Amino acid sequence: MNKSKSVRNTVIAVCLFIVIFGALLLTATLYDLEVSKILAKVNVGEYFTTSVFGAIFESIGSWPVYAMLSAAFAIIYSNTKRSSVKPLKILGSIAANIASVIAMAVLVFDTVSYITRHVSVPAGEAITSVFAKVVCVFIAAACGELLCYAFSRLDDDKAKALLRLSFVILFGVILANIFVNIIKNIMCRPRYRTMQCLNQPDENGNIFWNYHRWYQKFRMPEEGDPLYIAMSNGHKVGHDAYRSFPSGHTCAAGTIYAILALPKLLKKYDTPKMRALLCFIAVAVTGIVAVSRIVCGAHYFSDVLIGGTSTFVSMMLAIKIFIKDDFKKV
């Protein structure tokens, strides 16, 4: 593909993205609360969802970011292990191996943490027992080591090509999460379920009087404030009740967009069918998690739109930086 054609395609893609994103953001701005009233499954006076679908994806919705990070470190491990520089080969491979296992451990323990919010007290105590924690550590270690083993078996050319994918993942995750967490702490947007849980109607009986649009900044209530929620169902809530915008779960799920780099690296993925399949997988995973967050009452349409888009843009930028158009596919 010549340079002028590449530039033209990029301009068309960016314009199309801006139009679609703009239309979705306008819709979210106008109908955020209405969408949540239709989809959210949260009882008045409660903070956590009654929906099985919502509970499941609240527990596993962040899997993509931890799994992709674990894979990224496993790829780095497979490359450092091949290095001719002895200190890098030894220390680099050990560090990457440990990082891959740690990412898997965070995935497992994060999942358990969310599950405890939706099960009975005895069940919660069982899955957080010392024995259960040991089992979780074993599972995480096994998964991390299996990933490192799998990538270490690749030939040198594929390992070097995928090293660029690891850079895309790391850059995209860091950039998107910095953006999302900064905005969360600035905007302090009350969650839909926060108002459901507080159940403090105004003189007209409206419990959503404290609803704020995505661009309206609120404040972070502290203990003693009537808007502060200390606990719900035996679990601490605190400042989490006012961290609606943007969605961290959807941002985490959006890490899956890194797979769109594969057609630029490996020939087997550089076909119309594979490109379409990878796009479908990325959009489907992010979309399902996004819908589940609205069902949980944890986020509004605009929250998940910005959360997912932040990772998408970060990954596309990372692909542009680390994988040049003239890269020779393997």
Note the pLDDT tens digit of each residue in 78-134. 999 998 888 888 999 999 999 999 999 999 999 999 999 888 777 778 888 899 999
Average pLDDT over residues 153-173: 96
Cis peptide before 87 (omega within 30 of 0): no
pLDDT at 1 over 60: no
State pLDDT tens for residues 185-208: 999 999 999 999 999 999 999 999
Residue 48 to residue 235: CA distance in whole angstroms: 10
The predicted structure's pLDDT at residue 162: 96
Q: What is the separation of C-alpha 308 from the centre of its chain, rounded to a whole number of angstroms?
A: 8
- Between 3 and 222, the more confident residue is 222
Return phi, psi of residue 235, to 5°: -120, 140
Cβ-proximal residues to 224 (8 Å cutoff; 6+ apart), any chain: none
- Binned at pLDDT 50, 70 and 90, residue 282 comes out as very high
* Residue 215 tokens, joined: 């661009």
β-bridge mates for residue 231, sequence order: 236
Cβ-proximal residues to 82 (8 Å cutoff; 6+ apart), any chain: 89, 156, 159
Percent of the chain with pLDDT over 90: 85
pLDDT at 136 over 70: yes
State pLDDT tens for residues 37-72: 999 999 999 999 999 999 999 999 999 999 999 999
- Amino acid letter, residue 169: I
Question: Do 311 and 296 touch, CB atoms closer than 8 A?
Answer: no
Q: In the chain, what are the helix, strand and coil shares in percent, each to the nearest 5?
A: 70, 0, 30
Average pLDDT over residues 130-150: 94
The predicted structure's pLDDT at residue 119: 84
pLDDT at 2 over 70: no
β-bridge mates for residue 235, sequence order: 232
State pLDDT tens for residues 286-309: 999 999 999 999 999 999 999 999
Cβ-proximal residues to 81 (8 Å cutoff; 6+ apart), any chain: 89, 93, 152
Residue 220 to residue 238: CA distance in whole angstroms: 10
Domain ranges of the chain: 40-322
* Residue 214 tokens, joined: 């995505």
Buried b (16+ CB within 10 A) or exposed e, 112-135: bebbbbbeeeeebeebeeeeeeee
The predicted structure's pLDDT at residue 309: 97
Question: Do 289 and 250 touch, CB atoms closer than 8 A?
Answer: yes
Report which of 279, 200, 210 is spatially closest to residue 244, judged by C-alpha positions. 210
The predicted structure's pLDDT at residue 94: 95
pLDDT at 155 over 60: yes
The predicted structure's pLDDT at residue 68: 97
Cβ-proximal residues to 225 (8 Å cutoff; 6+ apart), any chain: none
Question: Do 215 and 171 touch, CB atoms closer than 8 A?
Answer: no
